Chains A and B, each alone.
Chain A
């Protein structure tokens, strides 16, 4: 990520560093069953050196290690453990820390309360300006300790860069092992994975409700494509589109009230919208071609979609309440899977180029498409809720894998998973 786009002087103070330093410290991370591992390509990444001491009282959940790994994964920080025990109450000699190369220092603690919950406390100091930046206490249930650590990382990230972090967000994706399909929900670091659905039939196209509490997805459990919505906390699920033919490609309206779906009930694959609670679909497009893969613009005014009305598949948009269709992509003969950045300015999609399928981005105001990857089988790009990263699926060494990339393509992470095919990623919203 070019440092010029980062408004904070803390980042600008730092001389350009060789990315090898980051790789060196990445190699020291503990291995885990599933986690996003950084693969930095390109040089000149500016990284804030930050020391994060192990939290006093941390036990099974290594809060400080989670905070360090989060910050490191963004590519914006070089996070190091502190070698001396300390907590949020310690009196730091910031000049000493500065002399040791620290730009910022974090220390904290976790304490079990009488009611069984945990009090997570931390402080963030600016070693250059010699002042305290943040001091927070969070009281959480034990299963939310990882979440608390991610929120600490988010707050540090925002304090030091001026942008919201996405460490406390979640990613949904589908895992296939043989004929077993599971819809997983993990923290954005790929850990803390939980299973929302398991089935012996395929599951595709998960889509998060804007409040982060429900997932819409397509399941083939009844021997055809049906759109379901599932509450993640309770597991309660409902069929929202089970009409004649195929029902697929759910997309939530930004207010969470409606779903855009692709239905073939009238013949052909056409776009409809219906209430998220279920109800009568309203037809949105009327063509004799394929219209599918709806994606709402963040302001809710337009729906972007894929249509082959011009021959091959291209990306178009239509007002969300219906109206004139406008073509968006012209470059290439096969452009699918649109995603719109949270600020509404950038389109991410998949384009076939010389037989390879590549994640591309394009400024909607008019710009040249940019390829972000060097892989050949990219699918399903989606934006992180802060708009700074994309998650996508691709193939590496014969396996389906998930990757994230910065918008300049320079810093990538790969979800490490053992042996299984992982696909169909969807990055959840800020809330949960």
Chain B
């Protein structure tokens, strides 16, 4: 419904006025210019824009204001965790979720400890390298974490002891944009809770 230029022209004023009114910003049309200059008047402070509670002029709050929340204050879990020791990391090939033989020993060890102590809990974090989209990588990391969790469950660990989560590409172990860095970042970390 693209208006023709002339109709757009005619629609523009009432539409613009409506838009601004809905947004809670008072806007009034000035009279057409004539020989007489524009009358200077003060629009009433109580004029309503029909907007929500935060409209300018109604609640006295600027529409442009954004309140800042600082999560580092107030004790949110904001500090870095201890770096996981190497026997807690499983590395993956590119585009793969298969657990390689060289890491089966690590998983066996954790499975024995978890099976022996039923109130012990563990979170498995999946990670990817930086290539590709953040959300898709989050899902790929989740798949890696779930592969590790499944292996642990097959070795007798109770499902309620484990949670698979993902950081996708958001928390690389190593900075860098080459295969060496990528290989260190395609991983799952096993962390005690």
Q: Which residues of chain A have a CB within 8 Å of any CB of chain B?
A: 7-10, 88-89, 91, 113-115, 117, 119, 121, 123, 132-144, 146-148, 151, 154-155, 158-159, 162, 179, 185, 187, 192, 194-202, 204-205, 211, 213, 218-225, 230, 232-235, 237, 244-246, 248-249, 262, 264, 267-269, 290, 292-293, 306, 313, 334, 336-337, 350, 352, 357, 379-380, 424, 430-432
Establish whether residues A246 and B142, one from each chain, have CB atoms under 8 Å apart when the complex forms.
yes
Closest 5 CB pairs of A and B: A235-B67, A135-B30, A143-B62, A194-B66, A162-B8
Chain B interface SS verdict (over half): loop
B66 touching A264, Cβ below 8 Å: no
Of A234, A268, A292, A334, which is within 8 A of B132 by CB?
A334
Closest CB in chain A relative to B57 CB, distance in Å: 7
Q: Point out the residues of chain B lying under 8 angstroms from A230, CB to CB.
A: 69
Which of B13-21, B112-120, B180-188 sits within the interface?
A: B13-21
Is A132 within 8 A of B23, CB to CB? no
Give every chain B residue within 8 A of A204 (Cβ-Cβ): 134-135, 138, 168, 170
State the Cβ distance, B30 to closest chain A Cβ, in Å.
3
How many angstroms from the CA of A244 to the CA of B29 in the assembled complex?
55
* A115 and B44 alpha carbons, distance in the complex (Å): 10
Beyond A293-B135, A336-B133, 17 additional pairs, beta carbon < 8 A = A7-B8, A10-B5, A123-B30, A136-B30, A141-B57, A151-B25, A196-B67, A204-B135, A224-B163, A232-B66, A235-B67, A244-B163, A245-B163, A245-B165, A352-B132, A379-B133, A432-B23
Nearest CB in chain A: distance from B11 CB, A: 9
Give the residues in chain A near B12, CB-CB below 8 Å: 134, 155, 158-159
A293 to B138 Cα, complex, angstroms: 10
Given contact pairs A179-B80, A202-B171, A292 touches B9 in the complex (Cβ within 8 A): no
Residues of the B chain whose Cβ atoms lie less than 8 Å from the Cβ of A151: 20, 25, 27
User: Complex: how many Å from CA A202 to CA B33?
Assistant: 55
Chain B contact-residue range equals 35 or more
| Cα distance A136–B69 in the bound complex, in angstroms | 37
Q: Which residues of B contact A267 (CB under 8 A)?
A: 146
Q: Is the CB of A221 within 8 A of B78?
A: yes
Is the beta-carbon distance between B139 and A290 smaller than 8 angstroms?
yes
- B69–A7 touching, CB < 8 Å: no
Asked if B72 is at the interface (CB within 8 A of a chain A CB), the reply is yes
**Residues of chain B within 8 A of A146, CB atoms compared:** 64
Is there a chain A Cβ closer than 8 Å to B140's Cβ? yes
Among A114, A202, A218, A246, the one with the most B-chain Cβ atoms within 10 Å of its Cβ is: A246
Give the chain B neighbours of A222 by CB distance below 8 A. 76-77
**Beta-carbon nearest neighbor of A306 in chain B:** B136
Q: How far is B171's CA from A258's CA once the two chains are assembled, in angstroms?
A: 30
Who on chain B is nearest to A174 by CB?
B134
CB pair B142–A138 under 8 Å, yes or no, is no
Q: Verify B132–A336 contact, CB threshold 8 A.
A: yes
Give the distance to chain A from B7, nearest Cβ to Cβ, in Å.
Answer: 9
B166 to A135, Cβ gap below 8 A? Answer: no
Q: Can you report 5 residue pairs joining A to B where beta carbons are below 8 Å apart?
A: A134-B12, A137-B28, A155-B16, A194-B66, A246-B139
In contact, A313 and B136 (Cβ under 8 angstroms): yes
CB contact between A221 and one of B63, B77, B80, B167 (< 8 Å): that residue? B77
Chain A residues in 8 Å Cβ range of B139? 246, 248, 262, 269, 290, 292
Measured CA separation A134–B12 after assembly (Å): 9
